[in-house]
Structure 1
């Protein structure tokens, strides 16, 4: 079932747009001399004949002509996992900003990074910092209100559910019933496995970030491990079925073994986010799951937790999707780094942050690549001192960002 998405223009005053002279990155090739025509909310034509281009312009004298000389034309990026909105709400410990302000300011930054569809990752059940019940509902409601009046990007909600958080079951079911979830992932942040498989790593993280003592963290661990024993996998499977009936993709998080991946698949999970090691990533990919790795990992060259290097998974054919995780500007940078270093051809690298996530979310018929009839979500990218930067962003046929650069 393909998830529903509105590809109507964001307003009633969109004008036709013609992007000329650029290097256009299509699904399987990079082409020169092709003009991308936008009318209403969609890409209406790919024109590669001078006479066709001339005729198109004559029929649309009010069209906006965009010169993409020395620039790449890419599909808008789709970010399925990013929790950076949390830092906008709480840039420093104990300093909370109003959610409407934080969301508005965060969204304004996204077109600069080339992100046209953002799955804001909100956590239910970890209990740390912003990742508790006290702010989750407010953030969900604000994002939903914002979506109805947004003029920048497509805002969607990625709900991350901690499977041992039994008090959150009613909340999760309510959010699903109200159709307030667009992507759902299951997390298990308990010590001894996944992200915290190394002895003491969970305790060190909690003590550092929450300022608790050794004795206090011991209590936290004991309570968490007791809750983990009571996880109801039959209920989780029913949640997967309910979500799937709404076209919602389901992900696992920090898988650390093929055996765990197999159990996740049995639940109905189709995306494996941030597998801990190459063996697990390969197994997930070979089993037909989408594997998502972090763009910051690509840019930095390593995992901040000393886990799997994303580039190793990509080289092994065991990773399909890039997400920004916590650093939105890394997404575009990772694409060009992969291409420049020969890890992937440019169309394949671009697809990791556009077509592949669209496929995983069930949106590939409308988003994810530059093709006639698809939504006009497009970005223009130039290289500055070897680094990619966005100069123009179009979402749903509307020009939402344009930079004046001087050389």
Structure 2
């Protein structure tokens, strides 16, 4: 083996197995993979640390927290993207789909005043070689939003957009089937009085009834025309899943019940669950736990959602590492954060340690049951 990067004495996790061996990469691609030691000069000695594929994140809304770190504060977009990217890369994520919500604002143009700078910031930072991970866009389309199609239109043909999801966050179903839980979360988050919360609840339910079906149909038609992978969101019932499948959706994001997850499997949808749910041992919204679904083989993809560092931690938890009593094994667990999301997003060139694929690689050490990212390479170049 010879190349730009040579790794030796690594515990390599491929899609099928774990092995101790060596890897070489050149021109941004993996060129060789061997069991046993290598005598080639210049090899990076992993000292028995794990060599893993770079993580692929389909759904994180973390960027907006950097762009609007306080109410009424907008940070310069390029540096906001860079700060977000640094945290993502340090977590071992080499491909990230920044999820931007098409919702909010007094009008479509009002919300676009926030969305456009973030997208332009990603584009400028990526073109300038300022970013460690590769960034794409995931458009989160809220069907209860009267102007969601107006919000989608400027990004319809944007080459950064590679994924979309269709959401209905009206209280009384899906994520917030438990109205008491909805009130508890939003009253604390928004500081509303009971009367204000009652008015907001009624308004959102009415918007779902008025716009939901029309917007869902229109958005999925646009997505199919663009050839975008489309995800449903917070499926609660088998009927929700059947509707999603009929509209051509390929991923069920965060199903809220065991029945919905089982239906997703029957309809051939990939099931995406939150790594924070898995690491914490339950859903913050009171819905089905990722661990319960994993026990039935109903988790295909993990997402860090709102905590980037949870993605790798979730995969090791799923594998039964770090003190867990049982698990599915590291190759299968890592597939939920690498090859499976890559396939769902039609990115066949990454997500596995295999000759010919991108050299997106991680050096990871397990310390007291916690996976610690020590080094990150994207296309063979060390970025963290």
Q: TM-score scaled by structure 2? A: 0.91
Structure 1 residues 231 and 284, CA gap change in structure 2 (3 angstroms): same
Q: CA contact under 8 A between 1:381 and 1:392: conserved in structure 2?
A: yes
Q: CA contact under 8 A between 2:78 and 2:124: conserved in structure 1?
A: no
Structure 2 residue ranges without an equivalent (≥5): none
Give the match for residue 176 of structure 2.
Answer: 196
2:119 to 140, 145, 148: 140
Q: Per-residue CA shift, 1:62-121, capped at 9, x if unaligned?
A: xx5211122000000011111122222334444443222221112112222111111111
Secondary structure of the 1:152 match is: coil
After TM superposition, give the deviation of residue 338 of structure 1 in Å.
2.0
Q: Distance in 1 between matches of 2:291 and 2:275?
A: 10
Q: CA contact under 8 A between 2:88 and 2:133: conserved in structure 1?
A: yes
2:18 to 27, 30, 35: 30
Give the match for residue 296 of structure 1.
Answer: 276
Give the match for residue 189 of structure 2.
Answer: 209
Q: Per-residue CA shift, 1:215-239, capped at 9, x if unaligned?
A: 3333333332332222264664453
1:347 pairs with 2:331: yes
Q: Distance in 1 between matches of 2:51 and 2:125?
A: 28
Give the match for residue 378 of structure 1.
Answer: 361
Q: Distance in 2 between matches of 1:300 and 1:215?
A: 33
Q: Distance in 1 between matches of 2:250 and 2:355?
A: 28
Q: CA contact under 8 A between 2:138 and 2:162: conserved in structure 1?
A: yes
Aligned length: 374
Deviates more, 1:366-375 or 1:40-49: 40-49
Q: CA contact under 8 A between 2:166 and 2:216: conserved in structure 1?
A: no
1:308 pairs with 2:292: no
Deviates more, 1:232-241 or 1:294-303: 232-241
1:266 to 236, 239, 246: 246
Q: Distance in 2 between matches of 1:330 and 1:286?
A: 28
Q: Distance in 1 between matches of 2:216 and 2:177?
A: 23
After TM superposition, give the deviation of residue 284 of structure 1 in Å.
0.4
Q: CA contact under 8 A between 1:190 and 1:202: conserved in structure 2?
A: no
Q: CA contact under 8 A between 2:137 and 2:160: conserved in structure 1?
A: yes
Q: TM-score scaled by structure 1? A: 0.86
Structure 1 residues 172 and 180, CA gap change in structure 2 (3 angstroms): farther
Q: CA contact under 8 A between 2:181 and 2:285: conserved in structure 1?
A: no
After TM superposition, give the deviation of residue 45 of structure 1 in Å.
1.4
Q: CA contact under 8 A between 2:181 and 2:286: conserved in structure 1?
A: no
Q: CA contact under 8 A between 1:314 and 1:343: conserved in structure 2?
A: no
Q: Distance in 1 between matches of 2:282 and 2:6?
A: 40
Give the match for residue 67 of structure 2.
Answer: 89
Give the match for residue 362 of structure 1.
Answer: 346
Q: CA contact under 8 A between 2:57 and 2:341: conserved in structure 1?
A: yes
Q: Distance in 2 between matches of 1:81 and 1:115?
A: 12
Give me the CA root mean square deviation. Answer: 2.2
Give the match for residue 41 of structure 1.
Answer: 28
Give the match for residue 310 of structure 2.
Answer: 330
1:177 to 157, 160, 168: 157
Q: CA contact under 8 A between 2:101 and 2:142: conserved in structure 1?
A: yes
